[in-house]
Amino acid sequence: MEHVAVSPWVALAYLVSGVLFILALRGLSSPATSRAGNRYGMIGMTIAVVTTLLTHFPMVPLAPKPGSFCIDSCGQLPDWIAAGEIFAAIAIGGAIGFVIARKIAMTDMPQLVAAFHSLVGLAAVLVGLAAYLNPDAFGIMLPDGQINPVSRIELGLGIAIGAITFSGSVIAFLKLAGKMSGSPILLPGRHVLNLGTLIAIIGLVAYFTQDQSAWVIATITVLSFIIGFLLIIPIGGADMPVVVSMLNSYSGWAAAAMGFTLHNTAMIVTGALVGSSGAILSYIMCKAMNRGFLAVIAGGFGAEASAAGGAAREQRPWKRGSAEDAAYMMKEAENVIIIPGYGMAVSQAQHALREMGDVLKKEGVNVKYAIHPVAGRMPGHMNVLLAEANVPYDEVFELEDINSEFAQADVAFIIGANDVVNPAAKTDKSSPIYGMPVFDVDKAKTIFFVKRSMGGVGYAGVDNDVFYMDQTMMLLADAKKMVEDIVKALQH
């Protein structure tokens, strides 16, 4: 495949695609504009892919040289055959993606995102290894047959980040899909082991600039796969939203590094956008969870907190309510605030919840939904589920916009949430969630708390004082069934 000089039209096309990617990120910042954001991203990626293909493959297929139907005298595939292989790969991948997108349930989106991140990381590793094995085809070989030292740095970093993204995303997928325990797996001396492995990878990348032996790049690849596992295994389920966001950032940086190797401006720009936006989102979520940003990168953050959940709980009195109780109290209320959490996602109760909200609104009740930034298993998880259930965007509010309204709320309806409404985050300095912003549900006149049983204490592993408050009624049942029963009670 020949390298073609970059024309001004190619640069312009990549610039347009870059602008569209920025507009896509802007659109995805709000559920109301997310559809437009997706369209911008699709158009931008189409322009980038088509431009790249046209750059390397002429519009008119090239005829192979005489006597070289499959492989020419230089040992390269004729352009028309290589182009056919690429279009076939695009068709197969596109078909698989289309089927998955049609079949995947919204509750399975977190693990799907993690799986996609792993594929991006693996692609970066494979491209890097291909460039190492055939540097001349990538235009990074010097006249003496050696790889350009700058390109060696790009290769080393791209392969390392890609391998970390792949193996880390595999662990995240297994945890999110329930195929692996969501509890943290704490290895002895894990911080020393992680730090030592990372230092070894960085040292080998630096050494790779002086020695391009196969053992160097192979060791970098293997160690990077290992550190990806080590960084994610100690992380508990409660911290998965930040993990998914951080892995998204890693995949972007891996793509950017490979963009330099491929001399592809679109990959560099797109990778940098994904990497920087993912890092910024991770930083915002770390603040929302009272976590240190550097602790996220190091791995194992929050593990001690999650491990503390095995402590014995004090037996305290609590009140049990029923669907009829909840229906009567909410029907008589003026203001109801609904706080969804991961339990809603597991039971797929979002549609029943929206129906409950619609019935209450017909009775003249003011209904609002309160979303915590780390509720669920990935950034925006609750927003996506409520949007799928056609909950109006203007009824959904973030923590900082609605927290002051709980003092005027007649009912706080908590469905499947736990740590994000735990007042221990504000009062108990020994609590693992201390300092994390939480909803002030304790200020509401009446609280209905939907959860499966009193045995659960949330991912952070700490008890919740809200369970035992005078104004709290526990609704112990599957979230979807409980909400459906409330809807029936409201209608009769």
Catalytic residue flag (residue 239): no
pLDDT at site 325: 92
DSSP-H helix ranges across 233-264:
240-262
The amino acid sitting at 481 is K
State the pLDDT at residue 59: 46
pTM for this entry = 0.75
Contact indicator for 183, 235 with CB cutoff of 8 Å? no
User: Which distant-in-sequence residues (6+ apart) come within 8 Å of 55 by Cβ?
Assistant: 4, 6, 10
Burial 111-138 (b: 16+ CB within 10 A, else e): bbbbbbbbebbbbbbebbbebbeebeeb
HSE, CB side, 13 Å, CA atoms: give it for residue 183: 9
Contact 412, 377 (CB under 8 A): no
Q: Which of 245, 233, 164 is nearest to 205 (CA)?
A: 164
Residue 308 CB-half CA count within 13 A: 11
411 phi and psi angles, rounded to 5 deg: -140, 130
Cβ atoms of 205 and 150 closer than 8 Å: no
Measure Cα distances from 393 to 379, 478, 487 in Å: 17, 26, 22
Distance CA 84, CA 81 (A): 5
Q: What's the pLDDT at 299?
A: 57
The pLDDT score that the predictor gives to residue 367 is 95
CB count within 10 Å of CB 245 equals 25
pLDDT at 263: 82
CATH 3.40.50.1220 residue window(s) in the chain: 323-491
Distance CA 206, CA 200 (A): 10
Q: What is the pLDDT of residue 54?
A: 80
Long-range contacts of 63-69 (CB under 8 A, 24+ apart): none
Predicted local distance difference test score (pLDDT) of residue 184? 67
CB 399 within 8 A of CB 372: yes
pLDDT in tens, the chain (492 residues): 444 455 788 889 889 998 999 999 888 877 778 889 999 999 999 999 888 888 766 444 444 445 444 444 444 545 556 677 888 888 998 899 889 888 887 667 778 888 888 999 999 999 999 999 988 888 888 888 889 888 899 899 999 999 999 998 998 888 877 787 766 677 787 778 888 999 999 999 999 999 989 999 999 999 999 998 888 888 765 567 778 888 888 889 988 888 888 888 888 888 999 899 888 888 877 776 666 667 666 655 444 544 444 444 567 788 999 999 999 999 999 999 999 988 898 888 999 999 999 999 999 999 999 998 878 777 778 888 898 888 998 899 988 899 999 999 999 999 988 888 988 888 877 776 777 788 999 999 999 999 988 776 665 567 788 999 999 999 999 999 999 999 999 988
pLDDT at 234: 80
For residue 448, the model assigns a pLDDT of: 95
**pLDDT for res 1:** 41
* Alpha carbons 377 and 345: distance in angstroms, whole number: 9
Q: CATH homologous superfamily for 323-491?
A: TPP-binding domain (3.40.50.1220)
The amino acid at residue 418 is N
Catalytic residue among 239, 419, 463, 485: 419
In this predicted structure, what is the pLDDT of residue 205? Answer: 93
Contact 261, 139 (CB under 8 A): no
